[in-house]
Amino acid sequence: MTNWMAITVLGVSALASASGTILLNYAAIVLSPALAILGATLWAASAAGFVWLAHGYDLGTLAILTSALGLITVNVIGVTLFAEDITVQKLVALSLLIAALTILSWPSGHG
């Protein structure tokens, strides 16, 4: 995989994650299950992109990715099924998570 391809997947994954967050926030405001499902789907697509970029990494890296996916899943379930509010704290946590995954997935040129 070339660096440009990896950077493109990384950008699309980050964009999908941010779009999913915005859609989930809007879905909570207008009480739209369809928008919530679309937002969760974008988050899942984002996670798939990050995991795809992590192939060939060690188990510690994959453990971090798995934890991140768990955090995203818990937030999606809480927002969509239990109508939890999307608080500033959740948005900050997810933003930091996206930043960490972006740094973790950045192509290093090794291997």
Residue 87 in domain: yes
Tokens of 28: 């909570």
- 58 pLDDT more than 70: no
Cβ atoms of residues 43 and 78 within 8 Å: no
| Number of domains within the chain | 1
* pTM of this structure: 0.51
As a whole number of angstroms, the distance between CA 68 and CA 70 comes to 5
Please report whether residue 111 resides in a domain. no
Enumerate the H helices of 31-108 as residue ranges: 33-53, 59-82, 88-105
Asked whether residue 110 is domain-assigned, the answer is no
- Average pLDDT of the segment spanning 35-44: 84
Residue range 13-17: mean pLDDT, rounded:
82
**Per-residue pLDDT at 62 exceeds 70:** no
Does the pLDDT at position 110 exceed 60? no
Give the pLDDT confidence of 74-96 residue by residue, as tens digits: 777 777 777 777 777 777 777 77
Check if the beta carbon of residue 93 is closer than 8 Å to that of residue 5: no
Domain range holding 16?
3-105
Q: Looking at the domain assignment, is residue 41 inside a domain?
A: yes
